[in-house]
Structure 1
Amino acid sequence: MKAALLQMTSGIDPAVNGQTLADAIGRAAGEGAAMLFTPEMSGLIDRDRARAATSIVAEGDDRVLATVREAAARAGLWVHLGSLAVRCDDRLANRSFVIDATGAIRVRYDKLHLFDVDLPTGESWRESAAYAPGKTAAVVDTPVGRLGLSICYDLRFPDLYRALSYAGATVLAVPAAFTRPTGAAHWHVLLRARAIEAGCFVIAAAQTGEHADGRATYGHSLAIDPWGEVLVDMGETTGLAFVDLDPARLVDVRARIPVLKHRRPIPPVATA
């Protein structure tokens, strides 16, 4: 099962970002991929909220989403659209989409954990100032396996991945726009840990480089097997990478260390 990862530097023009996505879909299909994975905020990265507000619309009006659906249908390729900012009444959602080879949306997932942090570098982020958190987790059957969805900051909350693996996930998607300081410190180790503890493949398509709004992202889109072995590390360059996900590898790892069978409910914590 061949998967493609797109590493990109999304900017402030959704039309340009949409064309990048459509081109990647065509190229991934041409290389024989069964599914393409794209980063968080594939359609727009703009921390100027007044300017961004003119481009963030309801899902049904989103031209990037429409472009991706049309390109997926034209290429006959499944796409995990890492996320888009979409308007929901008076709030926004950071929303992932899984789109099938006919262009139909199979499942949506809104980011559960919002990035509200102050970094030692002086960077300050308040995702909750504009976005509402999601309310449900999501899994969906795809050509590369049963896919469990998450987005970026969700990576730091292992209970989510425990629930996804209980729901039958064999592949975990972690699209991201990680900052450079947090990426250098935690990206690889957290993704490898999620793969190992869940006994799953992990596909983490990421934003990279210097963006038009002034932010910088870490890159290093990764594909990791259930043993924690890094199969793909894209470094900081934009473009496509490909990985073969071997179901036999997952069966072998889960047989060697059957963590899913050995899990027990967490008991009450005794205090002294």
Structure 2
Amino acid sequence: MAGAHSVRVAVAQMTSINDLATNFATCSRLVKEAASAGTKLLCFPENFSYVGDKDADNIKIAEPLDGPIMQGYCSLARESSMWLSLGGFQEKGSDDAHLCNTHVLLDDAGNIRSTYRKIHLSYKESSFTKAGKDIVEIDSPVGRLDPTVCYDLRFPELYQQLRFQHEAQVLLVPSAFSKVTSQAHWEILLRARAIETQCFVIAAAAQAGKHNDKTESYGDLLIIDPWGTVVGRLPDRLSTGIAIADIDFSLIDSVRAKMPIAKHRKPIDFWKSASL
């Protein structure tokens, strides 16, 4: 059980398809499972509500945040009295040809508390997705949360800013990583981000398996502590389910006290003036 200075969280692994109702039913079941385990936050993967067979399908179903799709998930959060991390929602863009890949944080009353629009876009994604511009952080019962999405993981400077300018404690990284890149880089990058920032990475939530004939995700959800140790993982990387771990705030403090990189870190101006 979680101790006095820790909070229980859960992370979901699932295989979303091109059916909003089916995906919602899966998420509902996982919310109930997490709630029965006493968790305060459940983190879903990128594209949790829908994965289209074609890019145009994702644009077609995209909705504003006050639309019925997101409002259904707001109801789930409210009914379960649990915070939800919904990373990679197809939010309707400013024109009919684009959407925003939006990470939405809901509180335990079902209110939208934060929205982060994915900043780093792959070449393919940039053709139909509008990139975000703003870093987001929010205080919660699970500490200071800083949402990112999938491809952001490859850009460590984002996580450096979240840690050293925004005092992050918990980094959220919902994803739908491809099979080839995940086999080579997934766990390594996640553990590196945890070690570099001395934060928990709790939302390495993963799409898993084949969504359709053309799209396959790697799965393998991970929860990683500030020392880089994997503290949450499912027995396999393809099944639908949740992993549970406790966010131990005393561990965050201990790691940062024993290795005070925030004090030792050189400012950007130092490197600009340094001679080679």
Please tell me the TM-score bracket, short chain as reference: over 0.9
- Displacement of 1:47: 4.2
State the Cα deviation string for residues 136-195 of structure 1 (Å, max 9, x = none). Answer: 011111111101111000001011111111211100000000001100100111000100
- Displacement of 1:241: 1.2
Letter in 1 for 2:161: A
- Displacement of 1:8: 0.5
- Displacement of 1:68: 1.1
Please name the residue that 1:84 is paired with: 89
Determine if contact 2:106/2:113 at 8 Å carries over to the other structure: yes
- Displacement of 1:201: 0.4
Q: Cα RMSD over matched residues?
A: 1.5
Please name the residue that 1:37 is paired with: 43
1: CA distance, partners of 2:177 / 2:151: 8
Please name the residue that 1:156 is paired with: 154
| 1:62–1:185 Cα change, 3 Å | farther
| 1:213–1:46 Cα change, 3 Å | farther
Pairs within 5 Å for 1:3-42: 3-42=9-48
Please name the residue that 2:4 is paired with: none
Please name the residue that 1:242 is paired with: 244
2: CA distance, partners of 1:232 / 1:29: 17
State the Cα deviation string for residues 229-266 of structure 1 (Å, max 9, x = none). Answer: 01122231211111111111111111111112211113
SS in 1 for 2:60: coil
- Displacement of 1:62: 4.2
Unaligned runs of 5+ in 2: 1-6
Determine if contact 1:14/1:55 at 8 Å carries over to the other structure: no
Please name the residue that 1:259 is paired with: 261
In terms of mean alpha carbon deviation, does 15-24 or 87-96 score higher?
Answer: 15-24
State the Cα deviation string for residues 38-63 of structure 1 (Å, max 9, x = none). Answer: 10111111141333333222222241
| Runs of 4+ off more than 6 Å | 269-272
Please name the residue that 2:272 is paired with: 268
Determine if contact 1:146/1:168 at 8 Å carries over to the other structure: yes
Determine if contact 1:11/1:213 at 8 Å carries over to the other structure: no
The number of aligned residues is: 262
How high is the sequence identity, in percent, across the aligned residues?
Answer: 40
2: CA distance, partners of 1:78 / 1:216: 28
- Displacement of 1:88: 1.6
Letter in 2 for 1:207: Q
- Displacement of 1:271: 8.6
Letter in 2 for 1:93: C
Using the size of structure 2 for normalisation, the TM-score is 0.91
Please name the residue that 2:190 is paired with: 191
Determine if contact 1:45/1:213 at 8 Å carries over to the other structure: no
Letter in 1 for 2:18: I
Pairs within 5 Å for 1:158-173: 158-166=156-164, 167-173=166-172
SS in 1 for 2:103: strand
